Each structure stands twice: as C-alpha cells, then as structure tokens.
Amino acid sequence: MIKKEIIKFYYLDYRSKKLILKDKEVKVFNKSGNCIEIYKYSTIDKAPDLRPFETTLKYDNNNNLVNKIEWTPLMLFWEEEYENKYDKIGNLIGYNMKATSGSIGDFSEHYPTKGTFNYDEENRLIKSEIVSHNKNKYGTEESINIAYDDSGEIIKKDRFEILNIKHDDQYRHTEEKHRFHYNDQGQRLTEIKFYQKNKIDDELLFNSKVIISEDEKLFYDQNDNINKRIKFFYDDEGRIMKEEECVGNALNDIQSMLLYEYEID
C-alpha cells in the first residue's frame, strides 16, 4: 500500500540545457488509500525556504470527502465542508458544500455548491451535476453523462460546464467529449475533444483534442496537428515513475519532466 507519493517537477533551463527542480508535491495517504495531506513546494529553484501550500482532507465512513482546508504560504485559507447524502445501498447521491476563505479571524463565505449523482441498475454512475451559484444564477454549472458497453466498460463520457459571472461580464461554455476504445489486451485508449464558446450567442467551436494511451498523451491543436507529447514510464509494479513533456518538430525534445517516488507501508 502506498503511504506517501512524492512528485518532483523539473523544467528545462534553455541557457544551461539542464533540467532544474522547480516544484515538489508530497501526498500522504491513510490505510484506506485516501489522500489526507498534500504539501506543495513551489519555486524551489528561486525560493527554497518558502513555506509550502498545505492541504488537509477528511473523509466519512464511506470514504467520501467531508472537509478540505488549503493554506497558502501567507496563511490564507480556503475551506470546504461537505454534507453527503446516500441511498439505501451506500451510493453517494448528493452533497451540499459550503466554502469559506480568508485568514484567521477574517473570512467570507462563497456560493453554496450542490452535487447530485445518478446510477443505473448495476450501480454504475451515469450522471452527475455540480451547481455553484447565487440566487441570481451567476456562478458555475457542470454536468457529466457516462455510458457503458455490454461488458461494463466505459465507452463515453460527455462533460458540460458553464461559467457565468456578472461583475466580470464573463461567460464561457465548455464541452468535453470523451470516447474510450479498448484493444485485445484490454488496454484503454482515450480520446478527448474540447469545444468552447465565450458568448451566449456564439457557435460552439472545436478547439483542441487529446489522445491518451498507456504510454503517452498526445495534444492536438484546432487544425488537428500534434503540438505536444507526454511520455509515461512505469516501474515493475505498474506505478508511474516518470513523465516527459516533449515538444519540437519530432516531439522528442524534453521541455519538462515529472519524477515520482513512493513510500510503501
């Protein structure tokens, strides 16, 4: 069982042509496999003594999140409190979330968030809706629909998100269309297409695409040209050990890298 996961982010310094450690993230897990603490160390190359961003997470007996607190190095915080609802067999069917932020002794509340979840006859999640806005309907709305094939494998997931903020005069409608394909060995290939519009009356336009396999993640622009590749490397236990972000004409020039370390209990 993984007790701790350490992720180190390196970027390519174009002058020295060396990979420089910039950020580090440490995740701590409990015996149920839930992440209970996160420490993010940023700008290590320039400010190695800076306090980390700290996050603590708490769960209920069904291993669903009930409390999350994030602290910045300047002791500003963001806190989320969840009231979870379950059906008779223990499926999470909804929650109400209250968020507050600020500093010690000085904080404010944010738009309440409500989540609802629907399942099919085999207790597989088929729909979720997350709504966070005020009484005037300004805020965000997210909806996800999921479909499965006859063997129970997920084959389709469509995600819709609307951001509508009055005081900034912002509006954004984003759609993600996930399609899943499987080879004879059961390995999954994921294709995600992104669509977006920035005004209510605009036409929804294709923006970009990502294809994810076990070994790599390919990024396509709106002209269907590959402009970035992330390569995945694993250890003998199947755990991710390294990610290489590659650019350039041949998509082999390493621009950044993630290294993973694990503490096993």
Q: In this structure, is residue 32 part of a structural domain? A: no
Q: In this structure, is residue 75 part of a structural domain? A: no
How confident is residue 209, by pLDDT bands cut at 50, 70 and 90? very high
Q: In this structure, is residue 192 part of a structural domain? A: yes
Average pLDDT value for residue range 70-94: 95
Q: In this structure, is residue 209 part of a structural domain? A: yes
Q: Kindly report the average pLDDT of the chain as a whole number.
A: 91
How confident is residue 258, by pLDDT bands cut at 50, 70 and 90? very high
Question: What residues does 123 pair with on adjacent strands?
Answer: none
Q: In this structure, is residue 245 part of a structural domain? A: no
Average pLDDT value for residue range 26-53: 92
Residue 168, pLDDT above cutoff 90: no
Q: What is the pTM of this model?
A: 0.88
Between residues 249 and 211, which one has the greater pLDDT? 211
> Which domain, by its residues, includes 184?
121-214
Distance CA 144, CA 216 (A): 25
pLDDT at 105: 74
Q: In this structure, is residue 24 part of a structural domain? A: no
Query: What are the φ/ψ torsions at residue 80 (nearest 5 degrees)?
Result: -125, 130
Q: In this structure, is residue 182 part of a structural domain? A: yes
Domains in the chain: how many in total? 1
pLDDT at 235: 95
